[in-house]
Structure 1
Amino acid sequence: MNFLSTALLAILLTISTSAKNNEKNIYDEIYRPQFHFTPEKNWHNDPNGLVFYDNEYHMFYQYNPNGNEWGYMHWGHTISTDLVHWQHFPIALYPDEESTDKEKCTAFSGSAIVDEQNLLNKQTNDTKTLVAFYTSQHCGQRMAYSTDKGRTWKKYEGNPIIPFDEKDDARDPKVIWHEESEKWIMVLYRKQNEEENSKGVSFYTSNNLIDWKWESHIAGFYECPDLVKFTVTNRPDEVKWVLFDGDGSYLMGSFDGKTFAPESAKLKSDWGKNYYATQTWSNIPQSDGRVIQIAWMRDGKFPDMPFNGQMSFPCELRLTKFDSGYKLIRKPVSEIELLHDKQYTWENKNVIPGINDNKLKKVSGDCLHIIGEFDLKTADNFGFMLRHSNKATGTEILYNVKRGTLSVLGCTVPLPAVNNKIKLEILLDRSSIEIFANDGQAVISNCFTPDEKATDAVLFTNGGELGVDKLDVYKMKSIYED
C-alpha cells in the first residue's frame, strides 16, 4: 500500500470514528430518555397512526421540523419490531394546500388502519395498503395512503373526506373496524353545537372508508378519542367497550356500531401530570391479542436539549372485574425485559427505621426498572428516594399507610393495601418516572429533571418495620447501544 492509499485510509477511518462518536453523543445527552422514544431533534407531541403490519409497529407523531416549539405540524415516523427499539424514518405527512402557516392546513392528529379489502383500490401487489386518517387543521378530515409498508405516503385525491366546519372544531379521527355491524367506525372529537358543554365525541360509519355518515354524539370529552373492545380478563365470556378521552380517562359501556351507551362514570387512567393523547395500536394479530397503548408525556422539561418531548413507555391494557367493580389495569409491555441489564435481588428481608441499612446502597444509575412487593408490617410509611446523592435530595416516592395513598412529584393516588401488602413497579429514565402500583391498578406518569450527578437509590421506612417479600432492580440498557 503506497503512502497516498495509507493516508486516505487513515482519513476515512477518522471520519468514520468521528461520525460514530457524534451519533452516540446525539442520543446520550443528560436528559435524553434512554428507553423512551424521542425524536433526534425538535418538538413532538401526540402519537398518531399507530398500526401493526408485517411484523412492524408503526408510530407516527406530531412533529415540528422547524424547531423546538409547537407548530407547523407534520407527521414524524418511526418503526419498531419489538416496541422497544425505534428506527427513524422520513417525515410521512406534510401540511396540505402547500401551507406554510403555523397552524392552518397542518397535519394534526389521527390514526391508521390496514385496508385488508382494498376498498381504496390502491393495492398493486400482495402488500396491503396502509391508510392514515388525520385532521388537516381548519381544512377538514383527510386521508393518506401507502402501498409500500409505510415508507412513502400519498394524499387521497378526494380529500377532504369530512369537510371543515368552523362551528365544531372537529379533529383527531380514530378509525376502527366494527365486526358486528361489518362497518368502519370513526370517532371524532368535535362540538355538537355552539355550546361549549357539547364538546365530545361523534361516531361516524362507513362501508368504503371514503363516505362517512354521522350516527351519534356523546358530550364530556376533549381531544384524541379512542374506542376499544375488551374481553374481561377474569370473565372471558364478557365483553365491554371502552371510550377514551384525551387524558386517558375512560368510560366503560356497550357499543352497537352507532351509539355508545355508558355503564360507568368516567374513570381516571393516570394520576400523574404528564400523560396525554393516549392511543392504541390497530391490527394487532389475534394470536397476540394485546391492547397496547402509548401516550405523549406532555409538559416535560428538557433543558438545553435538541429535542422537546418524549413518549410514555408502551403498555398493555386489560379490563378486569374486581370486588369494587370493573377497572382498566395498565402495565409495561413484556418486551421491556429485552433491556434488562445487571440485576439486584432481595427476598424475605426486613427494613427497620433508624438503622443505616439501605438495601439499595450498591445500586447506582439513571435508568432503572424496579419491581417490588412489600409487607407493611408496622410501618407508618415507606418508599424510595431516586436520583439521590449526598449533595442533592432525590425524588421521593412515598406510600402513606394510614391514608392508603401513594405520592410522587406532587401527585397522589388512592392505593388500598391488599392483605397488608403493596406492589410497586417503577420505570426510571433520565427525564421521567412511571409507577405502576398493585399490578397496574393505579398508575402515575411524571416527567422530571433530576440533578445530573445524582444516581443513588434509597429504600426507607418510617415509624415501624417494613417487610421486603421480593425486590428486583434492573439496570436498563440504552435503546441506542446498538
Structure 2
Amino acid sequence: MSQGWTRRSFLTALPLPLLAGSGLAQDADRPQYHFLPPSNWMNDPNAPIWFKGEYHLFYQYNPKAAQWDTMHWGHATSSDLLHWKHLPIALAPTPGGSDKDGCFTGCMVVDGGKPVIVYTGVNPEVQCVARSEDLLTWTKEPNNPVIAGPPAGVDTPGFRDPHVWREGNEWRLLVGAGFRGKGGTVLLYKSNDLVKWTYLKPMLIGQKLSGPADPVASGEMWECPDFFPVGNKWLLYVSTQGKVLYWLGTWKDDVFTPESDGVLVHGAGYAPKSCDASGKRRIIWAWLREQRSKADQLRAGWSGSMSLAVVPTLDGDGKLLLNPAAEYDGLRGKRMREAAHDDCCEIHIKLDGMKPFGLLRGGQEVLGFDPESHVLSVGRSEAPVPPGRLDLRIFLDGSVVEVFANRRVWLTGRVYGERRGLSLRGDPRSIQSWPLTPVSRDRLTT
C-alpha cells in the first residue's frame, strides 16, 4: 500500500462523498434506505454508539476499491437511524505501528464522558486502544498494543474483535478466539483502566466441525463476539461457520450459563454489532455480504451494505424476538393490498404454511417457501422455519432482501437484476405493501 493511503492526515482531510463514482446513483442494485458507504468496500459494523443525541456507526472500510484490503474505519452519524452523514475516516493504519497492516473490528465505550475505541491490529493480531474528545479526531494509546497476544498456553487460530462493557467498577472484555483442534471460544479479561488487562478464562467453548479447513468455517475460531442484557437474560453471539450463532442465558459472577441457542441472522448477514440507545433499547446491525462475483463487485465500484437496525426483545416465554427499528415505519407511503412495488418497499405476507409460495421480481424468485422442508429462501440464502402459519415482513431495497418470519427468524440475502414488477407463485392468506421513501436521491444514504 502506498504511503499516501496510510497517512491518516490525508484520509481524515478527504470528505468521503468525493470518493463516490458518478455511475453509482443509477445503479439499481444499490440500496436506497439501507446504510452503505459512498463507494468501495465495506464489511463489519464497528463500535456503534448513541452519544449526545446521535447515532455513530463505524465500519470496516477499504477506501481504494470494492474489494477487501488493508482495513480502515469508516464513520457516519445519524439522529434518526435513517438519514446518515458521512464523516472522514476515523482510524487508519499507522506505519510501523501495531495496526500497520489494518485496523480490524472492535467496539466503543465511554470512559469518564470520553469515547474510547478498543480494536484489533494485525500481523500479529493484538488489541489496541484509541481515544477521542469528539468522535472525530482519535489519538491512539502510546502503549499499544494493550494486549500483545493470546494468553500463555492458549493455542488459537485467531485473536481478534474485542467487545468491552462495564461490570460494576471494572471493565470486562471478550476476544474472539479458539482452541486449535477443538472449537471456537471467547476469552474473558478484566481491567480497571482499559489499558492493563488480566486474563480470566474462556467464557464459552464450541465444537469444531469436521470437513472445512478454514478455522472460521469449521467453527474452530469465533469472530466478532457481542454480549449484552436483553430483558432478564444476557445474549451472546459470535460469527462462525458462515453464520451468526447466539446463546441466551444468565450472567453472574463472571459466569455465563446458556439456557437456549439458535442462529441470530441467516444468509448474507454476518459480524453483527450492537449499541445501547440511552438504556431504552438495544440495536443490532449486521454486514450484508455480497452474493455475486468479485469481478461484478469491482465493476460496480461498491461492495457490502449494512442491514436494517434490528431491536432484540424477549417474548413471555423468554425466547428471542427480532424486529426492525420502528423508525422505518416513517418511510412508508400509501398502503396497498397487493405487492405493488418491486423495489424500495415493505411487504407483509401471511401464509398458511401448508403450500409452496414464491414472490418473484421480473420472473426471478425473490423469496420462496417450501412447506415440505419448512425452509424459506432468499436468493442463495436459506433459513428453517417452524411448522405452521407464517407472518412474513419483507424489505426490498435494491439488491438487498431482508425477511422477518414470525418475529423470530431473520433471513437476509441479495437478489440482483432487472426490476420488472412483482408476481406471486401460490396464494397467500393476505398481502399488503408500502412503498418506502428513499433517504436520498443519489443512493448514498446521506
Match of 1:430 in 2: 398
Q: Of 185, 190, 199, which aligns to 1:214?
A: 199
Q: Of 308, 325, 344, which aligns to 1:367?
A: 344
1:377-388 equivalences under 5 Å are: 380-385=355-360, 387-388=361-362
CA distance in 1, matches of 2:376, 2:36: 28
Find out whether 1:293 has 2:262 as its counterpart: no
CA distance in 2, matches of 1:446, 1:422: 19
Kept in 2, the 8 Å contact 1:225–1:244? The answer is yes
Find out whether 1:475 has 2:427 as its counterpart: no
Q: CA deviation at 1:342?
A: 3.8
1:58-457 equivalences under 5 Å are: 58-98=56-96, 105-115=101-111, 118=112, 128-137=113-122, 138=124, 140-148=126-134, 150-165=135-150, 168=156, 169-178=158-167, 181-192=168-179, 195-217=180-202, 218-220=204-206, 222-231=222-231, 239-246=232-239, 247-264=243-260, 266-272=261-267, 274-282=268-276, 284-286=277-279, 289-301=280-292, 303=297, 304-322=299-317, 326-344=318-336, 346=337, 359-360=338-339, 363-375=340-352, 380-385=355-360, 387-388=361-362, 393-401=363-371, 403-416=373-386, 421-438=389-406, 440-451=407-418, 454-457=419-422
CA distance in 2, matches of 1:24, 1:69: 19
CA distance in 1, matches of 2:187, 2:380: 35
Cα 1:244–1:175 shift into 2, 3 Å: same
Q: CA deviation at 1:258?
A: 2.2
Match of 2:9 in 1: none
CA distance in 2, matches of 1:198, 1:23: 43
Match of 2:10 in 1: none
Q: CA deviation at 1:142?
A: 0.7
Kept in 2, the 8 Å contact 1:203–1:259? The answer is no
CA distance in 2, matches of 1:395, 1:81: 35
Task: Flag structure 1 segments of 5+ consecutive residues without an equivalent.
Answer: 1-18, 119-127, 232-238, 347-358
Q: Given residue 340 of structure 1, which amino acid in structure 2 is its aligned partner?
A: R
Kept in 2, the 8 Å contact 1:427–1:434? The answer is yes
Match of 1:123 in 2: none
CA distance in 2, matches of 1:208, 1:93: 21
Q: CA deviation at 1:410?
A: 4.4
Report sequence identity in percent.
Answer: 30
Give the 3-state SS of the residue equivalent to 2:137 in structure 1. Answer: coil
Q: CA deviation at 1:472?
A: 2.7
Give the 3-state SS of the residue equivalent to 1:341 in structure 2. Answer: coil
Q: Given residue 33 of structure 2, which amino acid in structure 1 is its aligned partner?
A: F
CA distance in 2, matches of 1:367, 1:49: 28
Give the 3-state SS of the residue equivalent to 1:317 in structure 2. Answer: strand
CA distance in 2, matches of 1:381, 1:86: 39
Q: CA deviation at 1:164?
A: 3.0
> What is the TM-score normalised by the length of structure 2?
0.82
Cα 1:268–1:165 shift into 2, 3 Å: closer
Give per-residue Cα distances to partners, 1:243-262, cap 9 Å, x unaligned. 10113211122222523222
Q: Given residue 67 of structure 1, which amino acid in structure 2 is its aligned partner?
A: A
Give the 3-state SS of the residue equivalent to 2:200 in structure 1. Answer: strand
Give the 3-state SS of the residue equivalent to 2:235 in structure 1. Answer: strand
Q: Given residue 338 of structure 1, which amino acid in structure 2 is its aligned partner?
A: G
Give per-residue Cα distances to partners, 1:188-212, cap 9 Å, x unaligned. 11235xx232531011112222221
Q: Quick check: which one's strand share is greater? A: 2
Give per-residue Cα distances to partners, 1:40-81, cap 9 Å, x unaligned. 111111100111101111111111112222111111111111
Kept in 1, the 8 Å contact 2:378–2:412? The answer is no
CA distance in 2, matches of 1:366, 1:333: 20
Kept in 2, the 8 Å contact 1:216–1:259? The answer is no
Q: CA deviation at 1:130?
A: 0.7
Give the 3-state SS of the residue equivalent to 1:443 in structure 2. Answer: strand
Q: Given residue 39 of structure 1, which amino acid in structure 2 is its aligned partner?
A: P
Kept in 2, the 8 Å contact 1:36–1:312? The answer is yes
Task: Flag structure 2 segments of 5+ consecutive residues without an equivalent.
Answer: 1-16, 207-220
> What is the TM-score normalised by the length of structure 1?
0.76
Q: CA deviation at 1:412?
A: 3.8
